[in-house]
Chain A
């Protein structure tokens, strides 16, 4: 069948469907449209040539709004403890002291990765939208820059530690014995007996340019305590040995000593840039730890804790920093000790 014949047949077929003039009722109905149907404001219409620009601006605006929301969520959180004049806690009717033997207080769960994941997914979605809906190279380049910056910010906030020991107070508490004579040089030696608990306070410093909220300390053995010379990529010393089991705070930041009446249970603390926050660690010894009376055992060795994991939040993103203690914590223990089954 040739093309002309096919075209003729199609024309004939279509002509057979032609209904002729429109019915009168349609003329009437269309004539009433301007008086019965409102016209939207010109201000609400985006000209076609402006659509790519609007799409690009919308992309950037959504991303900016996302960053702002996350930032407000992070920065907007203030220290939950009531503070009175001079930095002292506001008077309250009754105080609850920090109990170092109550395991779990101040031990944070693993950092929440959802906000960072949301930003990464949002960046991916916005990148696709920008590539598909925007034809302008400038807008694509601008969107790429914004997305790239957002990803850099997210990864930097999560990977660069913003908290650590710089200077300030270091106060050994329960079980402290001596600062010399240990296996490890300059270690603080504690003798607390089998499964005993020691306390150790020191100042954590916000070393970054942004305010942070310290949420607590990483659970042991996954990221909490390592033996001396070991790092977070190596095995933890394990639950049978030394580990951080709780954390607390001072009632009054100006107090000098970690006495029970001076302490309060852990809660999320807001730390401004370059500011200190005094924290109290409760560290539980293993089952073979020596007590104060038998610490001179000639066969003894020391369990050492020198790094801890601090979980904190910055502009809505949670992460963990491995912080080296001002001095290693050493607990003498028997070397020929039989661990309980």
Chain B
């Protein structure tokens, strides 16, 4: 009876700690997921899935101070899975023609300053999931390459390579947009 009571208190304590930590980092996780996925509703689902996965592997987190990095990684993985499942549907290949078309659509809105950003957003939307994630972690979270490597579970060299390719594609999109203005 005593053992059962102690166990219950431990379980409740773990749940409370987990609840407090997820509550504290929920906004950051939700914003990260939305920026990666570009869809607030899907981001909610991704964060919810990530929280369930985190709770199920809660015992594997030895250092509670690392919760934010650990939970971010789970969220990033959930987003990556969703982006990859999207790719099963037809995707638009980012070619100069497509970029030009995107820029043209943006300029047609009549707001030239928005055109470049719109073209950039369209180029970002067709990036590879892993490239999209490193761009968000680098330019929105302002993480270093090593931190991104930790959050994504990939070597630093791979992160650099993905960053290089993604920036090249975004630069191309932005350059074409500016030249057309």
Contacts and interface: CB of A to CB of B under 8 A. Distances in A.
B170 interface: yes
A31 to B, nearest CB: 6
Interface string B38-59: 1010011001100110011111
Contact of B117 (A13, A27, A30, A31): A13
Contacts of B135: 10, 14
A296 interface: no
B167 interface: yes
Interface stretch (B26-34, B84-92, B143-151): B26-34
B117 A16 contact: yes
Interface residues on B, range: 35 or more
Contacts of B170: 6, 10
Contact of B31 (A20, A31, A40, A45): A20
Interface in A1-48: 1, 6-7, 9-23, 25-27, 29-31, 33-35, 37, 39-40, 42, 45, 47-48
A34 B15 contact: yes
A35 B19 CA distance: 10
Nearest to B175: A1
Nearest to A5: B174
Contact of A14 (B18, B40, B140, B174): B140
Contact of B59 (A14, A15, A45): A45
A35 B174 contact: no
Given A1-B171, A1-B175, A16-B117, A7 B26 contact: no
A10 B139 contact: yes
B26 A26 contact: yes
Given A1-B178, A11-B140, A19 B117 contact: no
Interface string A166-195: 000000000000000000000000000000
Contacts of B175: 1
B102 to A, nearest CB: 13
Chain A, interface SS category: helix
A42 B56 CA distance: 10
B117 A9 contact: yes
Nearest to A36: B52
B35 interface: yes
Contacts of B59: 39, 42, 45
Nearest to B114: A16
A21 B27 contact: yes
A13 B59 CA distance: 38
A23 B44 contact: yes
B65 interface: no
Contact of B23 (A18, A31, A45): A31
Given A1-B171, A34-B19, A18 B48 contact: no
B167 to A, nearest CB: 7
Given A6-B171, A9-B116, A26 B34 contact: no
B22 A18 contact: no
A7 B139 CA distance: 7
Given A11-B139, A13-B124, A18 B31 contact: yes
Given A1-B174, A14-B35, A22 B26 contact: yes
Contacts of B40: 19
B31 A13 contact: no
Nearest to B35: A17
B76 interface: no
Q: Which of B44, B52, B57, B139 has the most CB of A within 10 A?
A: B139
A6 B22 CA distance: 34
A15 to B, nearest CB: 7
Interface string B114-136: 00110011001000000000011
B60 interface: yes
Nearest to B178: A1
Contacts of B51: 30, 33
B175 to A, nearest CB: 6
B140 A15 contact: yes
A297 B51 CA distance: 99
A23 B18 CA distance: 19
16 contacts: A6-B170, A14-B139, A15-B140, A18-B34, A19-B31, A19-B43, A22-B27, A22-B44, A26-B30, A27-B23, A30-B23, A31-B19, A31-B23, A34-B18, A39-B58, A45-B59
Interface of A: 1, 6-7, 9-23, 25-27, 29-31, 33-35, 37, 39-40, 42, 45, 47-48
Given A6-B171, A14-B135, A22-B31, 11 more contacts: A1-B174, A13-B120, A16-B121, A22-B30, A33-B19, A37-B55, A37-B56, A39-B59, A42-B59, A45-B57, A47-B60
